[in-house]
Structure formats: structure tokens, C-alpha cells
Structure 1
Amino acid sequence: MEPTSDERTTVLVVGAGPVGLTAAAELARHGAQVRLVDALDGPSGEFRAITVHPRTQEHLSAMGVLDRIVDRAQEITAVEFHVRGEARPRVRLTTDDVDSRFRRILDVPQVDTETALREVVAERGVVVEYGTRCEALDQDDDGVTVTLASPEGREQRRYGWVVGADGGHSAIRAAVGVRLEGEFEGECSVLADVDVETELPPTALRLFVDPRGGGGVFPLADGRAKIAARVPRPEPGATPTVGEVQRVVDEQMGGHWRLGTAHWLTYFESRHAQVARYRHGRVLLAGDAAHIHPPAAGQGMNTGIQDAVDLAWKLALVSTGRAHDDLLDTYDAERHPVGAAVVAQTSRLNDLLAADGIGAHLRDLGLRLLGHLPVLGGRLMADMTETTVTYRTGGGRPGAGSPPVAGDHAPDVTDLRTADGDPTHLDVLLRRPGHLLLVVGAEESDLERLQDVLGALGAVVPVRRSSTGATPDAVIDTVEGFARRYGLGDHGFVLVRPDGYVALLSRDLDARPLAEYLSLHHLDVGHEPASRAASRRGRRS
């Protein structure tokens, strides 16, 4: 069969769950041509992922998605560890010191998150083509030939790149001949979305330690909760019941919840695995197609969404000819270690919940230390909420309150305002596509020189002490908190990547480091949209 079309500037995204929807939305936002397909006949209605961590909230805010799910979410401000059903937690960790402007966890049904993402995808001109599965692909140096099957028949088309976001049983992963590597004979757990009655406040995520299995309760809005607990392996084809889940709650979680109507019930097997590489030529894997792990801290969807955000801006630049495809190698370099760390951390936490014998004694000792050493608790909370994710080339982790370095997530700064006086934040500024160059202490000539170097890759935004005489695109920082937080002094700039991570910091206004950075990363500044050119001319006038 010959390809019916040649669309080598288009990215095919396979899988329309949270990861695929995020990839498609971000690709389109950054100027790429996108086709989005899913093998299912319609939205899955799955309930597996509910937890949205602070770092993911920052990304969703920049995408214009967060406001659409907040009203449907239960705000969580603490994570508690309970031992053998005790009502009083052995350890209570709070989100008070999480390094994010969103110092909370949101519990929201996956179906609601997907609905909000589909709305944004549609607004950006991308249609989800359900009932369309990938049967085969063959790639060469110039593109990928894909065989797709749908109710209308089979078709063969050429695309520039393929993103495999089609879950743990990924057809794209199989098509490129790679396998998940890890443990596949995991423990069996039951997962339930049920109405509950309880006297416990719904603002804490509670994890229960018990040698019979352990598990967790994740409160939801409207008197519902997600309950996950390890159980003996059922007979093939068996389905869980509310009564079974109630017994687990009574025996392992202190009986603090009375269960009512079940909205979703299933068994699942916890597995721990990851592919060796995320990039395979013109095919890139993200989310569960690249890594699977237990849901102990609710990190699966978050890690997958962050995969998609990292990948999308890079692939958009490459697919539109604004960057060399070597840039895509940084996707694997940055995200593979994050996936490996999440797999390891969630596996340890999963084992901790059900430890017995000497393991249980060591665990209980660890919990006592955790409860009495706030620095350890803060570090664990930061890791669980993924606010310590960094792409530093030399390793290390961000220090609390210390100036960021290249590769760290760009911290938000309070008291920033627009030239009109409205409050603003870094994630709000990142709603414009492209890189963001925030400049302190610059004259107009400095700004023009920096914009000439940055070109169409982003916007130069002056940070001013006063709104007097400020241009409409300026950010006003009357208390100079931005310069202090980033360690800039009186003059300097910060280049923030489209995904909110620091690309470059400079403590003077010399444009040469910016030019060297763009050259090193093979970013092409030769194309400039008319709208940006007009904006620059307006600023000069």
C-alpha cells in the first residue's frame, strides 16, 4: 500500500489520555501541525489517576487548563502515614513549604482532567480521532510511514514524527521493537471510586501501613474518595465488590469510612518498569508507554504530563524548522532520569506500606525519624510533589530559597504586576508561546539587542521597578523581589524555557551568552512572525 499523503511537517500523536492530550495541546500551542488518534471508540472514562501535583498545576496553568479543573477538585494540604489503621497519624507532612505558588495537591477524577484537556485541544484546532489504531510504522531519515485502521478502513500515511502516548500496552512501543524493562509480576490491588461517609477532614491524603497489604485513601469532592489497597490475587475474570473494599477499609484502614455507591471498581497489578530510551529516531515515547510504576503517591499521570510538556515545545521547534533535531535528544536526557527516580521511589513506598518482620521494624523507625526531623519530611514532600525535578547538567538539587541555576525550574515571585497593575505570575507569563527572556535594569537599546538575538524564539520582557513610563509588555516589581530571587543584582536576565525551566542566567546585559546558548542548542532564529516584528517596531516608536 502506498502512502495516501505525505505530511512530513505533521506530528502524529497516538493516544488521547492525559499525556497524549497534553502533547497535542502543547504542540499546537507552539505552532506545530498535529494529528491525534486513539484506538478507543471514545473517552475511556477511566478513574485511575486523580492526583495533580503542584509542578503539574504550574504546567496546566501555563496551558490554560488549570482553572477548568480547580472547581471540580478537592484541595489536599497534607499527606499522612497511618500504621495498622490507627486514627492518629505517625507522620503528617504538609504542603506549606512546597516551592510552588500552588502549595496544595488537587484530587480530581481523571475524566474531568481529560475533559478540560480535550476542550483546550479542540480550541487549538485539533480533533481527537477515536477508533483509529496504529497497526504498523516504518521510519527512515525523512519521516515515518504509519498504517492506521479505523471504521472507514485502512490507510497509510507519512508523518514527520510520532509520539507514542498510548499507555502501558503501547502499540507504538511495540512497533519500534522496544520493551519495558523491570518487574512485571507485581502485587494485586483493588481500586475503587466510591461515595463515602467519614468524620475525617477531606484535606489529607492518607496512606496506611499494614503487613496485610496497606493502601491509601484519596479524598475527592462531593463526598467521594478513591481507595487503593493491596489484596490477594483474585480468580481470573473476577470483579471487586463494594463489600470487599469495605472489608479492606475496616481491617487495614481503621474503618474510618463507610462506603456507599461505587462509581468505578477494578483490580490492577502494580508493576515497575521503564524503557531504556525515550527517543527512537523519529518516534518518541511518553507517559506509561515509557514507564510504569505503582500508584502509591499519585505520580503516574503527573510524570507523564511533564514528559509531554518537556517534549512538545522541542518537537514543535524541530517540526517547524526552528531547531535541529538534535534538540530532541535532550528529551530523553532530561526525562529518562526523572522516570527512573519515580519508578524507584514509588516502588520503595509501595514496599514500605506492606513491610513485615524486620522490614516493618525498620520502617517504623524511619517513620519516627521522619516525624521528628522536619527537614526530612519537607524533602519527602518535595519529592512526592515533584517540585525538586531539575535538569541540571552537573546533578544536585535546588536549595530552598537559593537562586536557581540553569536546569532548575524557574521559581515564581510574589508581588509581580503587569503595567496595568494586575497581579501576574511566571506561569501566566508563560501562556504566550515560546521562550521568555526576563530582563532587569535594561535600557531600550538593550532590550532591542536582546530581542534581535532571540528573534522568533520568544519574547523579551522588561522587569521594571515602576510602572511610570513602562511599556505595556513590562512586568512591574516594586520590591525588586525578582532580581533577589534570581540573584541578578541591578542588571541581568533570565531565559526561561517554554516548559518553565531556566535555560540561562546572566548577571549583565551582554547578548553574547544568549547567542551562544541558542547556537549550542541548534535553535534557528531566522524566522520572525509579522506580529512580533510589528510589536518590536511599536516598542521602538
Structure 2
Amino acid sequence: MEAVEVPVLIVGGGGCGLAASVFLSDHGVDHLLVERHPDTSILPRAHYLNQRTMEIFRQHGLDGEVAERGAPLEKFGKVRWQTTLTGDGPLDARVIHEMDAFGGGALSETYAAAGPATTTKLPQLRLEPVLRRHAEERNPGRVLFGHELTTFTDEGDRVVAEIRDTATGEITEVAARYVIAADGGRTVGAALGVRMRGTPRMVDVTTAYFSADLSEWWHDGTIITWFVNPYRPDLSSTLLEMGPTWGRNCEEWGLHFVLGDTDRSDERAVVARMREVLGLPELDLTLHKLTQWTVEGVLADRYRDGRVLLAGDAAHRQPPTTGLGLNGGIQDVHNLAWKLAAVLTGRADDSLLDTYEAERRPVGRQNVDWGLSTWFHHRVMTDAAIGLGAHIPPENRASAFATFFDPSPVGAAVRARGAEIFGTHRAECQAHDLEIGFVYEEGAVVGDGSQPPPRAPMGDVYHPTTRPGHLLPHAWIEHDGRRLSTHDLTGAATGFALLTGPAGTPWCEAAERIAEKFSIPITVARIGSGAEFTDGDGGWAAVRQITDEGAVLVRPDNHVAWRSIAGSEDPAGVLGDAVSRVLASRSR
């Protein structure tokens, strides 16, 4: 049996595991990734990449290719409710409501001000090959598809695992100091007895992934369109573009629909049902894959078990509403990668890894709870907005729609009430604060006793702040003729940053001494009038929340680790204590 030793073993080669590989490579951490499938996903699966995820991709040089392959914002920046895809009846192909979503339309200015990268749409089917190529280029020969974990044992100072080549059956023994379980909870968590708490198996959803030319009937511009059939509720469905071309000339699609009594093993019957749902009995389509998946909202009872760290779907699974699943998984491993690098290089104690759970599990809980809330709300909101509900018998369904579209004063009132109800959907598709406003109240942060900014109940208002634990506010600054984001000051390779006001020279001098003492790179940026970094449009001054003499210490993942509102009589001592507490801190 061949034996391999490696600092980190990643189990799972989906979006979360591949992202972990890229991030670890950029931090200089040797690792091995194993994935039981022979290739990346054959299903579209998650398709929305939020602003925080795109900022992370930007930090690791992935954003350009992802954005190039993904849908531009003008092609997906709305959500729409529509009666049917096609038809020539008075209730057919009618737009019920539409609204800006996920940074599109009127939201674009707000999102642009909040970060150096914007959102995009790229299904996992197309994202994962990009991540795999970068993972393989940055870690040659150590990204192994067609290899599955069969057994593992945590021996205290290492994990010993057996990896089987699914093609040859050959077994390799791998000894790793740490394991990242990014396997969706299929093997590692279950073997450790990790329990998923919450609301499991709420409903099964059928999704068809297919190719067809829908250009004659499709309206450009939506990330998702819900068809609410005015005649038969069983024909209601959800249709999503899946690329590779975006807009009405899209070639591939995802259809969520009710299969009913149709035998899912009978492809001809399934295709016939799809044509019925789409209202196109003669449509030429190719069915690639039919899947049934379960909507649930569950959270792992722990994110760390000895030398095993759970991430992505292995740690949290939530309804797709608000798109916090894959995004949350990528953000998990971004949080984890710099900490593993710090521990493995001896710059930090193993206890730093305890802060992974302390920081990410509360965010996972928030995302699961929010996903459940928006899922349940969505299921009743649409009917309420149109004037449907349990009290409306099926034979009166079309009448309710007719009233909704009636040009009379009554129809106008129904539509006005409906618009207000649809407006509550912003908690699902405009939840900017959920995407970038989350905070680490405990963990590798040194609190300063300040209170967090207010949070809008609907999650749609983000308040930038330099309070420890929060994401560093983005602002454009200039240095040596180059335009930079404040997010560009940290490094992908375990680099911290110290941002000060224009009179922060004592902090800058202290940072040089602390960087040498702890053997960590700290980029120093004195920002303001007369400083090395200029704040031409005043963006940094508006969000820094420190005086000209103050300082903000930023972690490699661009979360604020510590700040001093003003100067100090002992900047080296104060800053050194902060760095020590961040790197060797047990979760508090």
C-alpha cells in the first residue's frame, strides 16, 4: 500500500472543496484533494455568486474568468413572476410582477459602493471546471478526481485515511495533520457522529436540466422566473437560464416543476410532462438529467471534531432562497485557509482553528434560519399577492387572475396590494446585509466594546463599519498612481494589513516591529492627506470610524481583527498584544 504524508487532506471536489484547494495553494499550504466522482458536477445546481464570494474570488485571481463566463448583471438582475411562458389567451404570458434583485437595476449603485466586485450568475456546472483548473495548476498532481475516502482514523496528532482509486481499486494511505470535510456530509461527518440539527426533508423538488430553443418566448433579464399558472396549479413551475449563452438565446435550462404521477424512469413521459408545463406540446428539447432533491434547513452540531473541520454542505444545508448555500461554503473555507496556514507554519497555536467554529457556525445558523424564513414566506406570498389561497376553489382560480389584471379600479387596488406584498420579497432577493454584513462576534478578533451597527429587519440595508469582526469596508484609494480597494491591502498568502489615518505613523512603525516579531507580513497603509495612500473621493474617511491617529488591523480574509479609535502611548505594545491574541486565541 502506497503511503503519503500531507499537511491537509480535502475530502470533496465540489465548489467548496475546489475553492479550499485554491485558497490553500495561495497560502503556500501543501495539500491533497480527493473526489469520488470522475469529473466536476454534471448538474447546474447553485448558480448565484454573491458579492462577498466574488470579492473572495477577486482576492485569489478568479473573478475575471468567473465573470467572463457568467451572466452579466443586466441579464440576471431581476426576478419575475409570470402566468405562463406562452399562449395567446387573455391570461397567458402575462407579467404578474418583477423587481430588481441581487445587485441589478436600481440596486447596482448601492452594490458598487459596497465592494470592489459585483455579483454574477454562473451555475456550478460551469463554475467547477474553472475552479478545478486553477486548483490543478496551483497544486499539480494533488487534485485527484475518481478517488474516494474509504476509512479514516484521528490518531490525535494526525488523521490516517485510506483513499481508493475508483477505476483501479488501488488503495493509498494518507496521513494528514488536518482534514477539511467538504463532502456534503456524505461520509466524514456521519462517521464522526456529527448531527445535523434543524428542519430536515421539508419537501422534494424535481428539476429537469435540458436543452431547447426558447428564444421566441423568453424575456431577458431575470435570474429566476416563477410561472404561476392561472388555470392549473400543477402546471406552475420555475425556469432558470443555465447558459452558456445568456438571455433569450440561452441553450440550456433548469426547470423546477411538479412531476405528479409521471413515472420519472420513463423519459418520454417526463419530456411530455415538461412540454405540458411549458405550454409547448411540440417543443424540440433534449433532457440531460432529471433530479429530485430535498429542501431542508439543518446545521451541524459542531464544525470541528479533533483534526477534522467541516465546511459547506457538510456543515450547513439551507433552502436555496437567498442563495446562501454555496456562497456560505466558499466563505467557510476562505475563513479556514489562512488559519490553517498560520498554524501549519508555526505562526499560531492550534487553538486558532477553534475560532473557525466560533466564527462560522453562528453565520451558518443565521443563514439556515434566514433561508427557512424566506422559503416559508415565498410559498404563501405569491398566492396572497395575486389573491389566491386555500379559500379559492380551483374553478375560481382563473377568475382571481382576471381580477388581478382587470383595468378597473378594483383591479388597480388588487395590483397595488399585490405590489406591496411582493415587496416583502426583498428579504430574499435584496438581502445585501446577509451577504456582506455578517460579523464574527467571537473568535480571532479583539473586541473594542463598541456596539454593532443597526440591522434592517429585512436584511436589505448594509452598514459598513470597521468594528472588529466585521468585513473591512471597501473604499477606493490611490498609491503610486494605482487605484486600489482597501480590500487589496491584505494578501492571499497570509498577509495582514494595518490601515491608519494620516497621523498614524507611530502605528506604522510599530507594525514593522510586530511583523518581524511574529514572522507575519503586515502591509502598512497610512491613508489621507499627505500620506502615502490618498483618499481622493473621501470614501475611506466616510467609513473608517477612527481619528487621524487611529488604526485598523485587518486579517488575511479582510475581516477586521482589532482597531484603535485614536493613538496610543505604547503602540508597539498594544498592537503586539492584539496580534498575539488573534493568532493564539482560544474562542472567547
TM-score (norm 1): 0.82
* Match of residue 145 from structure 2: 130
Specify whether residues 75 and 489 from structure 1 end up closer, same or farther in structure 2 by C-alpha distance, changes over 3 A only: same
SS class of match (2:180): strand
Separation (CA, whole Å) in 1 of partners of 2:553 and 2:428: 27
Q: Which moved more, 1:185-194 or 1:378-387?
A: 378-387
Separation (CA, whole Å) in 2 of partners of 1:354 and 1:370: 12
Separation (CA, whole Å) in 2 of partners of 1:334 and 1:432: 20
* Match of residue 190 from structure 2: 174
- Aligned residue runs from structure 1 range 146-295, under 5 A: 146-150=161-165, 151=168, 153-168=170-185, 170-181=186-197, 182-184=199-201, 186-195=203-212, 196-198=214-216, 201-208=219-226, 210=228, 212=234, 214-218=237-241, 220-222=243-245, 223-224=249-250, 226-232=253-259, 235=263, 237-238=265-266, 241-250=270-279, 261-262=285-286, 264-272=288-296, 273-295=298-320
Specify whether residues 200 and 44 from structure 1 end up closer, same or farther in structure 2 by C-alpha distance, changes over 3 A only: closer
Specify whether residues 346 and 296 from structure 1 end up closer, same or farther in structure 2 by C-alpha distance, changes over 3 A only: same
The runs of 5 or more residues in structure 1 that have no matched partner are 525-541
Separation (CA, whole Å) in 1 of partners of 2:285 and 2:433: 30
* Match of residue 452 from structure 1: 513
Residue 462 of structure 1 pairs with residue 491 of structure 2: no
* Match of residue 50 from structure 2: 53
Specify whether residues 370 and 63 from structure 1 end up closer, same or farther in structure 2 by C-alpha distance, changes over 3 A only: farther
Specify whether residues 320 and 230 from structure 1 end up closer, same or farther in structure 2 by C-alpha distance, changes over 3 A only: farther
SS class of match (2:483): coil
Aligned residue among 403, 408, 420 for 1:369:
420
The amino acid across from 1:163 in the alignment is I
Whether the 8 Å CA contact 1:136–1:147 is kept in 2: the answer is yes
C-alpha deviations, 1:48-95, integer Å up to 9, x for none? Answer: 122111111111111110101211111235332426556434351342
Whether the 8 Å CA contact 1:19–1:301 is kept in 2: the answer is yes
Specify whether residues 387 and 325 from structure 1 end up closer, same or farther in structure 2 by C-alpha distance, changes over 3 A only: same
* Match of residue 334 from structure 1: 359
C-alpha deviations, 1:385-413, integer Å up to 9, x for none? Answer: 71232223577766645533112211211
Specify whether residues 112 and 5 from structure 1 end up closer, same or farther in structure 2 by C-alpha distance, changes over 3 A only: closer
Aligned residue among 139, 150, 168 for 2:154:
139
* Match of residue 30 from structure 2: 33
SS class of match (1:40): coil
The amino acid across from 2:196 in the alignment is L
Separation (CA, whole Å) in 2 of partners of 1:307 and 1:418: 31
Whether the 8 Å CA contact 1:15–1:37 is kept in 2: the answer is yes
* Match of residue 131 from structure 2: 117
* Match of residue 122 from structure 2: 108
TM-score (norm 2): 0.76
Whether the 8 Å CA contact 1:464–1:475 is kept in 2: the answer is yes
Separation (CA, whole Å) in 2 of partners of 1:34 and 1:519: 27
The amino acid across from 1:123 in the alignment is E
* Match of residue 537 from structure 1: none
How many percent of aligned residue pairs carry the same amino acid?
Answer: 25
Q: Which moved more, 1:298-307 or 1:222-231?
A: 222-231
SS class of match (1:31): coil
C-alpha deviations, 1:214-265, integer Å up to 9, x for none? Answer: 5343464512254342414654645585543343344xxxx8x996654743
C-alpha deviations, 1:426-458, integer Å up to 9, x for none? Answer: 343344422222222246554231222244333
Whether the 8 Å CA contact 1:318–1:324 is kept in 2: the answer is yes
| Higher Cα radius of gyration | 2
Specify whether residues 290 and 301 from structure 1 end up closer, same or farther in structure 2 by C-alpha distance, changes over 3 A only: same
Whether the 8 Å CA contact 2:28–2:341 is kept in 1: the answer is yes
Q: Which moved more, 1:97-106 or 1:222-231?
A: 97-106
Separation (CA, whole Å) in 2 of partners of 1:349 and 1:230: 19
The amino acid across from 2:174 in the alignment is R
Question: 1:515 deviation in Å?
Answer: 2.3
Whether the 8 Å CA contact 1:16–1:37 is kept in 2: the answer is yes
Residue 493 of structure 1 pairs with residue 544 of structure 2: no
The runs of 5 or more residues in structure 2 that have no matched partner are 85-92, 390-413, 443-450, 456-460
The amino acid across from 2:203 in the alignment is G
The amino acid across from 2:291 in the alignment is Y
Q: Which moved more, 1:274-283 or 1:149-158?
A: 149-158
C-alpha deviations, 1:172-194, integer Å up to 9, x for none? Answer: 12222224343125222214253
Separation (CA, whole Å) in 1 of partners of 2:227 and 2:82: 5
Separation (CA, whole Å) in 2 of partners of 1:15 and 1:242: 33
SS class of match (2:10): strand
